[in-house]
Structure 1
Amino acid sequence: QVLRKTLCRGVIFSTGSFLAYGAHKLISGFAEVHASFKVDEVIEQADYLYGSGETEKLHQLLVQHKNSDDAELLWRLARASRDLAQLSTTSAEEKRQLAYEALEYAKKALEKNESNFAAHKWYAICLSDVGDFEGIKTKIGNAIVIKEHFQRAVELNPKDATTIHLIGIWCYTFAEMPWYQRKIAATLFATPPTSTFQEALRYFHMAEEADPNFYSKNLLFLGKTYLKLNNKKMALLWLSKAKEYPAHTEEDKQVR
């Protein structure tokens, strides 16, 4: 009888443990699904605000999720922080703080998902921005890392015209680099990074082929690069397109 009671108690305990375990799994699974839905919902809201040009509201939404482990949220927060820093109403001190915060968010996004093309793209952009605050030596020192992340982003998403454009900007910057900056580069690298205006032009055209008329600045740099190559006819063509481009953002207005 004692043995029977012990066995019964064991069965009841085992059944209770199993039910408790099952309930835990069910609750955990529900929590994961709920969290997934919440992330998707936030991303949907964020993309709507980004498309509407609501920079401050977008940052307010995403900064609430700065401790997230989701790379899609984190790179969007990096972009939103950078966009907020670019506003003319943002103070110099805030610009600096936002630039460093943006880099941290992009770095975290990359750590969470190394295969996310946008994480590579925004890490490179934010690393370049931080270089503006740390001086020309740091900016040049980061140049190869920046290009590598842009190239990795294009490998992961060959259709992303913006990243292709940014590689063009990288090439253009090194093609027109003044002599004193070349000397700095020579002290930092055994083989300093170099490029040409022809290479920059190739990337700007590749970006335009990937997504025609996608960005006023790509049109502008096509014109500027043709000027550097002394092709005034083609320069005028692309500069005219840049001037006629509808101004949706502050950057578009600056291009015009």
Structure 2
Amino acid sequence: MAAGARSFVRSWAQRLHTPLTRSTNRSYSRAAQGEIPVKMTMLGKGLVVSSLSFLAIESYRWKYKHAVVHASIKVEDIKEQADYLYNCGETEKLHELLSQFKNSEDPELLWRFARASRDLAHLSKTAPDVKKRLVYESRDLAKKALELNESCSPAHKWYGICLSDVGDYEGIKVKIGNSYIIRDHFQRAIELNPKDATTIHLMGLWCYGFAELPWYQTKIAAALFASPPSSTFEEALVYFEKAEEVDPNFYSKNLLYLGKTFLQLKNKELALHWLRKARDYLVRTEEDKEVHRDATDLLKTLGEKV
């Protein structure tokens, strides 16, 4: 992944009222190290940069901030820059970089831009009106990426995530209706890339949320739709376990939800096992801190001394 920060999750039931968090935002420990090759022609000084580190590029960029990126810049170089910035958590710089290519016809750039817009929307300092604009921008970018290439797995994943965010501005009927579409895009993303643990985890969250849906929300859904979305904790468990199989310990929240799911299924022994792993996961991000706190609280309720 690349660009700024991906967030997702709490429970799908909560998502009927609150925005997705950044689960797609796996830890920044996988940030690229060293230099990234960049080929760029800067009009203004006629300087050609061929292989500089991002720090060098950034300092040059600030020095000549009015320079224009030449059209000869290669898309692959931009993707490398975008992925580097994403893995470093440089959300604002990433969004600024990709904003230059908002009219691109390359789906790989567009889904990265969608992700960057969403990440920027979810920064705590982003003003509400700006957040709303970015939420819709991210959805539209991901949708365009899909229109250009239906076989792009990340575009399906990010369209599903961004579409969920839009539901927060359009009411519960739209949110529930969109849940079918979100599920279908997550499933298509998995079909196209069975090794993407993040999307598999997101499908687990989808199932968990609807399995946990309170009775009154179920009645609302039933009143609005002849066949409202539904799932079970058993279905959720299949996805959480599969995500762990594909990429062991890839994400602290997957460990937490394995523990919570086993708790729902009355398997205390396995619930304790996964909750301990979630508690002991190396904290790198704000989301990891949140997971540590939630896992610790659940372990206390189960009689664990922590």
Which TM-score bucket, shorter chain as reference? Answer: 0.7 to 0.9
1:91-110 deviation per Cα after TM superposition (whole angstroms, max 9, x unaligned): 23222221111101101111
The number of equivalent residue pairs is 223
- What fraction of aligned residue pairs are identical, expressed as a percent? 70
Match for residue 127 of structure 1 among 163, 166, 171: 163
Q: Which residue of 1 aligns with 2:211?
A: 175
TM-score in terms of structure 1 length: 0.83
Q: Equivalent residues in 2 for 1:31-46 (5 A)?
A: 38-46=74-82
> Contact between 1:141 and 1:185, CA under 8 Å: does it hold in 2?
no
Distance 1:149 1:186 in 2: 23
Q: Which residue of 1 aligns with 2:175?
A: 139
**Structure 2 counterpart of 1:160, which letter?**
D
Is the counterpart of residue 67 in structure 1 residue 108 in structure 2? no
Alpha-carbon distance, 1:35 to partner = 6.2
Q: Which of structures 1 and 2 has the larger relative contact order (alpha carbons within 8 angstroms, sep 6+)?
A: 2
Distance 2:113 2:246 in 1: 26
Q: CA RMSD in A?
A: 1.6
Larger mean CA deviation between 168-177 and 91-100 belongs to 91-100
Which sections of structure 1, spanning at least 5 residues, go unmatched?
Answer: 1-33
Distance 1:248 1:134 in 2: 34
Partner SS, residue 253 of structure 2: helix
Q: Which residue of 2 aligns with 1:58?
A: 94
Is the counterpart of residue 148 in structure 1 residue 179 in structure 2? no
Which sections of structure 2, spanning at least 5 residues, go unmatched?
Answer: 1-69, 293-306
Cα separation, partners in 2 of 1:192 and 1:168, compared to 1, 3 Å? same
Partner SS, residue 68 of structure 1: coil
Q: Which runs of 4+ in 1 moved over 3 A?
A: 34-37
Q: Equivalent residues in 2 for 1:1-256 (5 A)?
A: 38-256=74-292
Alpha-carbon distance, 1:192 to partner = 1.8
Partner SS, residue 180 of structure 1: helix
> Contact between 1:247 and 1:253, CA under 8 Å: does it hold in 2?
yes
> Contact between 1:124 and 1:146, CA under 8 Å: does it hold in 2?
yes
Alpha-carbon distance, 1:82 to partner = 1.1
TM-score in terms of structure 2 length: 0.70
Cα separation, partners in 2 of 1:40 and 1:226, compared to 1, 3 Å? same
Distance 2:136 2:146 in 1: 15
